[in-house]
Amino acid sequence: MTPLLAEGTTRAAIGAAEGALQQGAWLLVALPLAGAALLLLGGRRTDAWGHWLAVAASWGAFVYGALLFLDLRSLAPEERVRDLTLFSWMPAGGFQLDAGLLLDPLSLAFVLLITFVGSLIHVYSVAYMEHDDDRRRFFAYLNLFVASMLLLVLANSYALLYVGWEGVGLASYLLIGFWNHNPVYATAAKKAFVMNRVGDFGLSVAIMIMFATFGTVTYAGVLPNAGEGSTNAMTWIGLALLLGACGKSAQFPLQAWLGDAMAGPTPVSALIHAATMVTAGVYLVVRSGPIYEAAPTAQLAVVIVGAVTLLFGAIVGCAKDDIKKALAASTMSQIGYMMLAAGLGGIGYVFAIMHLLTHGFFKAGMFLGAGSVMHGMNDSVEMRRYGALSGAMKTTWATFGLGWLAILGVPPFSGFFSKDGIIETAFATGEGWRPWVFGMATLIGAGITAFYMSRLFFMTFQGRKRWPAEAHPHESPSLMTVPMIILAVGSVALGGFLFVGGRFHDWLEPVTGAVEEHHPVIAKYPLMGLTLVLVAVGVALAWRQYWQAEVPQTAPRGSWITRAARKDLYQDDVNEAVFMRPGQYLTRSLVFTDTKGVDGAVGGLAAAVGGLGGRLRRWQSGLVRTYAASMLAGVVVLLLGVLAVRG
Amino acid sequence: MPWLTIMGLLPLLGAVIVWALPNGRDQLARAIALITSLAVLGLGLGLAIGFDVSSAGLYQYAENYRWIPQIGASYAVGVDGIALVMVLLSAILVPVCVLAAWNEYRGNAARNFFALILVLETFMIGVFAARDVFLFYVFFEAMLIPVYFLIGQFGGAQRRYAAVKFLLYSLLGGLVMLVAVIALYHQGPGGEQGFLTGSLTGVFAADAAGAVPVMAERLMFLGFFLAFAIKAPMWPVHTWLPDAASEAPPAVSVLLVGVLDKVGTFGMITLCLPLFPNASRWAAPVIMVFAVISVLYGALLAIGQSNLMRLIAYTSISHFGFIVLGVFAMTTTGQSGSALYMVNHGFSTAALFLVAGMLISRRGSSTIGDFGGLQRSTPVLAGAFLLAGLSSLALPGLSSFISEFLVLVGTYQRYPVVAIVSTLGIILAALYILITYQRMFTGPKQEFASAWRDLDSREMWVVAPLVAVIIALGFYPKPVLDVLTPAVDRTMQQVQQVDPDPAVQIAEGATP
């Protein structure tokens, strides 16, 4: 694949942060971090008001982020990339690294997404977690998450990014396992952290290669010089970064943790496992664009991972009866779209991030909707026991419906602009088989998405009611519905707002560079029509099966593909067979040989030196002096030996 | 003023007083132990403040007296950046350990315990400050005595076995080193002060004719290295540590693993490399392999343990593997990382052992399977354990991350494959910590812990300083790195190594 931005790439140069506003940007991270620290150290004393402190810290970060955004927007585009050095962080010999932040259109777009959606979810959680004894701890972790996520996107070096990267992993671990008195949830939390660490292994290796190649790990040092490095080095860096991105963003083959992560309280699923943290991998790839442009093989790998994951998630999503797991599969699939777009480069970067933003709104909205449904249905997640909830919870139904239209890509809702852009770019990028294969993957994915999302929507809100006798569905309090309404507004309008007039494209240009238009192998408007037809077919199929027909309360056995999809295409079975069981066997046998073998051999050797035979047990009989004397004799021999060869 | 000597003798004086107390004055014995160790800490901090950071590669607060001129031994002490930091580490951990063991013993036992801890502190300060190879050797061996008694008298059911095993392994290493020490003297300039580290450094540089006694240098290097490898436990001479650390009282395990074992890696970086530069370079590739094995082997074994204290011991074997990796990668980044790792590992392992000790004393068992659901019963204790654990798995933001990161980055510069394989250790670390946390702290609340109290104020005072240091050094390691790097630079010169250049030369001014 020829680099798309070979000519005409004009990324803006980095300037120093100026003015109190830019130089105080560390407050963005510090505010929620202080909130978390206060709540954790304050203990039970802060139970009464702690959640409001957390809400305030998060909104405070949003306000600061918005001011920064306005500040950057007032500058000329080529001056919108600002570097803020904070302090000397790791001055260790050959490795000199300052902690610093990079304020640019890309990081600011994330800051706004994280703090705005994050703050809405904070508000929602005040009501959602009202009856939990540990609500304060929950808010402390949420604040910790926001702080880490902001650090991740604002860092000006791969090493500082790594701090945020593992920080969000920790917050995710703590929140997935928030109800870890349930052993299944505790296992889910651990699984998420460990699989993320597999990804972090990749990120670590990437950083090592970077330092050996460039002698620095800052964006300013690595990215502009990526073209100077050998293709080999860039390819390995790109692949290692991709491994990190796969772990964090639940992309194939490190996707298995995301479904289980739904063990966390639903606001967590909305914020961390839908809107922000899981999209960090896409951020990493887009941020590292120059590296991938210098490494076509790695770039192709990104596209393949995205294509595989988008289909994988979509197939799994068709078979799940648990509303949160169905949404999780959808998240995986949608991030697959973003990843694919990021791998295409050029205009793909813009659509990847645009889809990330619109997805952040509509998917968070739908997760909050799912939480609202669970709230009204005694925490049941079983869609086969829902049905006809549209009447009982009108606001939830309406906001969820708008999110549904957005993810389907129905014009003029948000998802239409961003997803259609990705499909078009996939059909327009590369030569030979590539536009066809990757284009078809996104196209088919769109059809399947329409099916499984409609299935989810109809099973929950339409058709006939299948509630258990004790269920009394009711609308949630306004602390929960207002955030849902605001996110629904984003589901409707954000895509159009960003797309029309190339607004978002122009905004990102200093980071992604200017791009020339490519022409898709299928013309633009027929392609759009084809997409919409597929979407309509998907909706119609779901309508027939899950609205018109009776939905059985126990899942039918289903075809082999349904059964495979229910089991997440056997991802856990594969991991268990390939990694877990051999690992356990290895550990057990090492423990056995360590006591019997290594210890025995060394002990035997020591005893032999002492001239007293290999019986370890006799060590206990107090023959220390004998041993010591024998050793001393040995020492004398050794000494003579050394002195003899000395000259 | 001979500050280092005063600092070293102060705990010994405290020990004598504690021993001299009449029976029944337990409380006074504890108080004297604590006050003495705090006074030592105060002195240590004073030395750190007075330390000239700009010449941290030089030995400061130096003292030099003839001791046994007949054999060339001197009493010479002084600290460079690395030694200063290690002395401080000891001075911080001893009061913490005294406080942790506050209520453990009564009567004679209490006096013995605290006095032995103070004696041990004297030797620890001595071994890090020694500037004479013979003096170093004396402290190196003398340390064994208090530890032997601390394990043998105050340990668990298998304490005698563990104590003897510890002693034999250490003696074996020490005696082989003694051979090398004597041989080294003969190689050196000799005379009444022939054991001074300073005059022995450079003995194996090529002479005017370019001749180097290759074989002798290598054998002596191996003599020192074996002793240090046993002390720092590297695979395959590590098996004494799990026994010793699991049988010893938690406070002793902290000093054993957190400080004493560091003498091994400290010796590698401050004696092996400067004294035997050619042999160090010669042996480095093989040692790197052993270090990688230690990293992975220790971690895998930790995953398989059912005893909490043994588990922590095996994690340390893995961590020592990282430290050795950084030392023998022979890059400034790797060695700075290793030197910092020695400090960070001291604090994080101390936190882990001490919190584990609090759990074990409540449950009366150190078997992991005997715990469960504690996050619901004692949330603060659970939080403390998790934080210590996260530090052990080198979570960014906590101090161990900085050092592990630097070691790996520095190792990759010269040994890419070794570095990548070692990085697998971070996945295994997540497993051994989180599996343990899951088994002990998650799940439904259990009956046995219903009457447990959460951390009391004394225990808070034990944990809080460690946590504070772990977090502070995680965010801002510069003060410690600034002290360490000049000493590392000097070592790199002595071992005649320079950092490999990056593949791409970035134009001046391109990096901010």
A193: nearest CA partner in chain B: B430
Shortest Cα distance, chain A CAs vs residue B113, angstroms: 22
Q: Write down the number of H helices and E strands in chain A.
A: 27, 3
Contact B510 A193 (CB under 8 A): no
- Residues of chain A with Cβ-Cβ distance to B300 below 8 Å are 586-587, 590
Residues in chain B closer than 8 A to A614 (CB atoms) = none
Query: Cβ-count burial of A576 within 10 angstroms (0-12 exposed, 13-18 middle, 19+ buried)?
Result: middle
C-beta neighbour count of B500 within 10 angstroms: 14
Find out whether A618 and A627 touch, Cβ atoms under 8 Å: no
Closest CA to A535 of A400, A367, A420, A388: A420
* Alpha carbon distance A221, A215 (integer Å): 8
Within 10 A of A408 (CB to CB), how many other CB atoms are there? 24
Distance in angstroms (rounded) separating the CA atoms of residues B256 and B248: 9
Q: Strand A15-16 to strand A95-103: parallel, antiparallel, or no bridges (unpaired)?
A: unpaired
* Cα B489 to Cα B487: distance, rounded to the nearest angstrom: 5
How far is the C-alpha of A137 from the C-alpha of A35, rounded, in Å?
A: 11
Maximum Cα interatomic distance, chain B, rounded to a whole number of Å? 78
Within an 8 Å CB–CB cutoff, is residue B212 touching chain A? no
d(CA B90, nearest CA chain A) in Å: 23
| Cβ–Cβ below 8 Å for B503 and A230 | yes
Tell me whether residues B180 and A591 touch, CB distance under 8 A. no
Select from B238, B396, B419 the Cβ nearest to the Cβ of A166. Answer: B396
Q: Does B63 touch chain A (CB under 8 A)?
A: no
User: Is A432 within 8 Å of A440 (Cβ atoms)?
Assistant: no
Parse chain B into domains and list their residue ranges.
Answer: 3-494
Q: Work out the number of other CB atoms within 10 angstroms of the CB of residue B363.
A: 17
| Strands of the A15-16 sheet, one edge to the other | A15-16, A82-92, A95-103
Strand-strand pairing, B73-79 and B60-68: antiparallel
Tell me what ipTM this predicted complex has.
0.92
Alpha-carbon gap, residue B279 to B287, rounded angstroms? 12
Q: What tokens does B150 get? A: 């601390």
Check if the beta carbon of residue B418 is closer than 8 Å to that of residue B411. yes
> Are the Cβ atoms of A95 and B406 closer than 8 angstroms?
yes
> For position B512, what pLDDT does the model report?
41
Query: Between residues 90 and 129 of chain B, which touch chain A (CB distance below 8 Å)?
Result: none
Which secondary structure element, helix H or strand E, spans residue B64, and what is its range? Answer: strand B60-68
Residue A640: the pLDDT is 66
CB atoms within 10 A of CB B12: 18
A91, A194, A590 member nearest B300 (Cβ): A590
Cβ–Cβ < 8 Å for A247, A199? yes
Phi, psi angles (nearest 5°) of residue A411:
-70, 145
Given a cut of 70, whether residue B380 has pLDDT beyond it is yes
Q: Do B506 and A95 touch (CB under 8 A)?
A: no
Residue A636: per-residue pLDDT: 67
Measured between beta carbons, which residues in chain B are less than 8 angstroms from residue A213? 502-504
Of B304, B443, B485, the CB nearest to A181: B443
Query: Above pLDDT 70, what percent of chain B?
Result: 97
pLDDT at B485: 92
Counting as low any pLDDT under 70, the low residues of chain A are: 1-9, 516-517, 597-647
Contact by Cβ (8 Å): B44, B33: no
B419 in contact with chain A, both atoms CB, cutoff 8 A: yes
Contact assessment for residue B124 and residue B237, using Cβ atoms and an 8 Å cutoff: no
Those residues whose C-beta lies under 8 Å from the C-beta of residue A392, and which sit 6 or more positions away, are A376, A473, A474, A475
Q: B158: pLDDT confidence band, cut at 50, 70 and 90?
A: confident
Comparing CB atoms, the residue among B175, B236, B410 nearest residue A602 is B236
How many Å apart are CA A203 and CA A206, to the nearest integer? 5
Q: How far apart are CA B227 and CA B232, in angstroms?
A: 9
Cα of A12 to nearest chain B Cα, Å: 14
Q: Searching chain B, which residue's CA lies closest to the CA of residue A591?
A: B301
Interface probe, candidates A45, A173, A208, chain B, greatest B C-beta count within 10 A: A208
| Interface with B, mutate which of A29, A39, A180, A623 (most B CBs under 10 A) | A180
User: Mutation test of the interface with chain B: which of A136, A141, A166, A175, choosing the one with the most B Cβ atoms within 10 A?
Assistant: A166
Tell me how close the Cα of B186 comes to any Cα of chain A, in angstroms. 8
d(CA B402, CA A90): 8
Cβ-defined contact of A635 to B179 (cutoff 8 Å): yes
pLDDT computed for residue A615 by the predictor: 44
Place of tokens 């268990």: A576
A–B CB contacts, 8 A cutoff, strictly below = 250
**Residues of chain B above pLDDT 90, percent:** 63
Mutate to test the interface with B, among A587, A612, A620, A640 (most CBs of B within 10 A): A587
Of A74-78, A356-360, B75-79, B119-123, the one with minimum mean pLDDT is A74-78
Scanning every residue of chain B, which has its alpha carbon at the shortest distance from the alpha carbon of A137? Answer: B379
